[in-house]
Amino acid sequence: MPTWGIILIVIVVVILIIIGAFAGIYNSLVRLDERVNEAWSDITVQLKYRADLIPNVVETVKGYAKHEKETFQMVTEARSASMGVKTVKQAAEAEKEMQSALGRLFAIAEAYPELKANENFVKLQDQLQDVEDKIQAARRFYNAGAKELNTKIKTFPTNIINNIIGHFKKREYFEVSESEKAKIQEAPEVKF
């Protein structure tokens, strides 16, 4: 076989290896991007479910504490804000407001023993706690996916390929505010 034939075969093999590596890296970025999109979708589903539960909780509490209009308004506004989130940053801000509003609402409930004993209220409270747990899990899953995608985008040789394509962008983390971090670090007060 002539030398130019061997050179041609080597060039074709090298080109195929480069194309294969490029395709593999691109496909791994697509998978990570979709995993982060799925995680974000899971968060929005849980936020929507919680938003759907809140009117029931508010109505139940209203039956016992009719004079707490400001708190009910705050909860309603926080619910509306959480329903309209489009970005991670908006969701984090809405989450902060929602936690504050729900905290005030449940503080009101503490003042009414007959409300705390109401079976419907207890059931709604349990459902909300379940949703809160699912939101936390979805946030952790989203943040893990965002970290993996962000790391992959920054590392060699993926960063070169992503710069050529320019399609995959760094994702924001869904983080709680500094004041929420302080609350998390405090031991919760449990009352029976």
Backbone angles phi, psi at 111, to 5 degrees: -80, -5
| Spatial separation of the C-alpha atoms in residues 96 and 48, rounded to whole Å | 16
What pLDDT does 184 receive? Answer: 44
> For the chain, how many structural domains are there in total?
1
Task: With respect to residue 192, please indicate whether it lies within any of the assigned structural domains.
Answer: no
Whole-number pLDDT of residue 13: 96
Domain span holding position 133: 3-185
* Dihedral sign from CA coordinates of 113, 115, 117, 121: negative
Q: Is 7 exposed, middle or buried (0-12, 13-18, 19+ CB in 10 A)?
A: exposed
The pLDDT score that the predictor gives to residue 119 is 84
pTM of the model: 0.75
CA distance 181 to 138: 18
Mention every residue, 6+ apart, whose C-beta is less than 8 A from residue 130: none
Report yes or no: 149 and 33 within 8 Å, Cβ to Cβ. yes
Residue 147 is predicted with a pLDDT of 96
Strands annotated E in 25-148: none
| Domain-located, residue 56 | yes
R_g over Cα of the chain: 25
* CATH number of the domain enclosing 89: 1.20.1440.20
Residue 190 lies in a domain: no
Residues 6+ apart with CB under 8 A from 33: 149, 168
Question: Of 128, 115, 120, nearest to 62 (Cα)?
Answer: 115
**Separation in Å, CA 99 to CA 31, 58, 105:** 33, 14, 10
Q: Mean pLDDT in each 10-residue stretch from start to end of the chain (192 residues)?
A: 88 96 94 96 92 88 79 88 88 89 85 82 89 93 96 93 89 74 46 36
pLDDT at 179: 54
Which pLDDT value is given to residue 20? 95
